[in-house]
């Protein structure tokens, strides 16, 4: 269960299928579900590698990710190619910036080495600069390289990799620290007995579980602590597979975990999930 990353595996698989122009099979599929009218829906599950059905036109693919808790996403991907080669200077009227960043100074040198290894005269410096500026996460240790030609950037990358100063190269460290982000999972992460040890050993956690139980009491015919302490295993009406049980229970556990972390001085910059 990939939790918050559910769907990214399908996105990566689809992008590779477009890049390689080949449709991969679905794993572990043998017998279709008789309740799904695949023929009527014009659907087919692939069981072996094969080409796209129409390679004479742009390839299109859809990726769907449906969360049990209601978080749904659909992405449409299309392949792209060009019949013209970039001249390397189109649109560039001055020095081109290449932003490079990493989590540590050593990793920053490693980024420079990786870019050096991939550098060639066929790729426009403008295109590389655009990709570095728009598709990379900005980490604290940073450098900006200014140049116009591939040779300019090769010289600056060599200096950055070696840790020496150079014209057109500026290094620095971002001083504003990024705060932690709390990511709360949805349905599928629960298990019988979860949070019991924390309730028994951590007063802050137990206090907020009790507050959640008090807030839930007017709205549900069951006890939060009873469910957490094993009631979900003995009473089918309290099963953690039931949406009307598991969602309030998970909410209470996540809220109490958040308050526990905050009591230790860990204040989130954002909360998702």
| Dihedral sign (CA 104, 105, 110, 114) | positive
pLDDT of residue 69: 67
Supply the pTM of this predicted model. 0.43
How many structural domains is the chain composed of? Answer: 3
More confident residue, 40 or 82: 40
If asked whether residues 156 and 187 sit together in one domain, one would say: no
Last residue of a domain, which of 51, 78, 105? 78
For range 140-157, the mean pLDDT: 95
Please state, as a whole number, how many other Cβ atoms lie within 10 Å of the Cβ of residue 153: 24
Closest-CA residue to 216 (of 256, 173, 179, 257): 256
The two tokens of residue 77 are 């991907």
Q: Is residue 232 part of a domain?
A: yes
Q: In angstroms, what is the C-alpha Rg of the chain?
A: 27
Q: Quick: pLDDT tens for 189-233.
A: 777 778 899 999 999 999 999 999 999 999 988 888 888 888 777
Q: Is residue 84 part of a domain?
A: no
pLDDT of 236 > 60? The answer is: yes
Measured distance CA(178)–CA(270) in Å, rounded: 10
160 & 120 share domain: yes
Q: Is residue 91 part of a domain?
A: no
For residue 160, is it within any domain? yes
pLDDT in tens, 110-135: 999 999 999 988 889 999 999 999 89
Tens of pLDDT, residues 75-114: 999 988 765 555 545 555 679 999 999 999 999 999 999 9
Instruction: Please say which residue of 173, 202, 230 terminates a domain.
Output: 173
Residue 9's pLDDT band, with cuts at 50, 70 and 90, is confident
Same domain for 221 and 264?
A: yes
Instruction: State the Cα–Cα distance between residues 113 and 106, nearest whole angstrom.
Output: 11
pLDDT, average across residues 179-191: 81
Question: Has residue 90 been placed in a domain?
Answer: no
Higher-pLDDT residue of 49, 194: 49
Range of the domain at 233: 181-272
Separation between Cα atoms, residue 128 and residue 118, nearest integer Å:
11
**Do 201 and 265 fall within a single domain?**
yes
Answer yes or no: do 258 and 199 share one domain. Answer: yes
Say yes or no: 259 and 200 in one domain: yes
- β-bridge pairing 181-183 and 141-147: unpaired
**pLDDT band per the 50, 70, 90 thresholds, residue 235:** confident
For the domain that residue 201 is a member of, what is the CATH number?
3.40.366.10
**CA-to-CA distance for 121 and 58, rounded, in angstroms?**
28
Q: Kindly tell me if the per-residue pLDDT of 2 is higher than 80.
A: no
Q: 173, 207, 238: which is the final residue of a domain? A: 173
**Cβ(15)–Cβ(60) below 8 Å:** no
**10 Å Cβ neighbour count for 166?**
14
Within-domain flag for 202: yes
């Amino acid at each position: 269960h990939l939790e918050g990353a559910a769907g990214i595996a399908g996105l990566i698989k689809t992008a590779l299928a477009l890049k390689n122009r080949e449709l991969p099979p679905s794993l572990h599929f043998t017998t279709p579900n008789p309740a799904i009218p695949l023929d009527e829906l014009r659907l087919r599950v692939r069981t072996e590698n094969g080409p796209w059905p129409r390679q004479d036109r742009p390839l299109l693919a859809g990726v769907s990710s449906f969360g049990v808790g209601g978080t749904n996403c659909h992405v449409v991907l299309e392949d792209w190619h060009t019949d013209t080669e970039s001249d390397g200077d189109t649109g560039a009227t001055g020095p081109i910036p290449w932003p490079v960043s990493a989590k540590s100074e050593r990793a920053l040198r490693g980024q420079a080495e990786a870019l050096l290894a991939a550098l060639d005269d066929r790729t426009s410096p403008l295109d590389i600069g655009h990709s570095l500026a728009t598709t990379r996460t900005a980490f604290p240790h940073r450098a900006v390289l200014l140049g116009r030609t591939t040779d300019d950037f090769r010289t600056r990358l060599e200096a950055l990799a070696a840790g020496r100063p150079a014209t057109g190269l500026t290094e620095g460290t971002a001083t504003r620290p990024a705060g932690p982000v709390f990511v709360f999972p949805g349905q599928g992460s629960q298990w019988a007995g979860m949070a019991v040890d924390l309730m028994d050993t951590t007063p802050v956690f137990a206090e907020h579980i009790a507050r959640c139980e008090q807030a839930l009491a007017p709205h549900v015919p069951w006890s939060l602590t009873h469910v957490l302490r094993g009631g979900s295993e003995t009473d089918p009406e309290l099963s953690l597979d039931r949406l009307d049980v598991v969602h309030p229970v998970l909410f209470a556990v996540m809220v109490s975990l958040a308050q526990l972390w905050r009591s230790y001085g860990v204040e989130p910059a954002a909360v998702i999930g």
